[in-house]
Amino acid sequence: MSQYDDDAGYEGPVVVRRPIHDAGMKLEADVKAGTRGPAFEIARRRAEEFREAGKADDAAFWTEVYDFLMTRESVGAEVETIILEEGEAYDFDEAEVIRPDKNPPRKSTES
């Protein structure tokens, strides 16, 4: 995902969850090794096949891979890619990764 501005087009960074990034990079490597078609088209076809098979979660995953790969195709090489690990989010307004608090403060037991 990235932000889109009608006047400027895509603006960075490209933000992607780790499993989506890894699946997309594997598809791109497969394409370079001789698999047919561009990686984003393979992802789109997989999403469509899963959708037709009634596998909504798998279709959503491959749709997200497709969106990531298409976004990469649409931005310049200088645009940063931020990979989110499990539980992380990205705040576009603050331009920072939001990580879950590993040790949340304990609530006071005093009355």
pLDDT tens-digit series, residues 36-90: 778 999 999 999 999 999 999 999 999 999 999 999 888 888 889 999 999 999 9
Number of domains, the chain: 1
Residue 75 lies in a domain: yes
- How many H helices and E strands in the chain? 3, 6
The DSSP 8-state label assigned to residue 11 in this structure reads E
| Spatial distance between the Cα atoms of 74 and 2, rounded to a whole number of angstroms | 11
Tokens representing 25 are: 């990079």
Would you say residue 8 has pLDDT above 90? Answer: no
Task: Tell whether the model's pLDDT for residue 12 goes beyond 60.
Answer: yes
Assess if residue 105 is contained within a domain. Answer: no
Domain range for residue 84?
3-98
pTM score: 0.78
Q: Which of 79, 62, 74, 77 is nearest to 26 (CA)?
A: 62
Report the length, in residues, of the chain: 111
Phi, psi torsion values for 91, nearest 5 degrees: -100, 105
Domain-located, residue 41? yes
Query: 110 in a domain, yes or no?
Result: no
Q: In the prediction, which pLDDT does 74 show?
A: 85
63 is a domain residue: yes
Q: Which residue has the tokens 């590993």?
A: 102
pLDDT greater than 50 at residue 103? no
Q: Which of the two residues, 106 and 90, has the higher pLDDT score? A: 90
Residue 36 lies in a domain: yes
Is the residue at 104 inside a domain?
A: no
Q: How far is Cα 15 from Cα 80, in angstroms, rounded to an integer?
A: 8
Residue 31 lies in a domain: yes
- pLDDT, one tens digit per residue, over 75-97 is 888 889 999 999 999 988 888 89
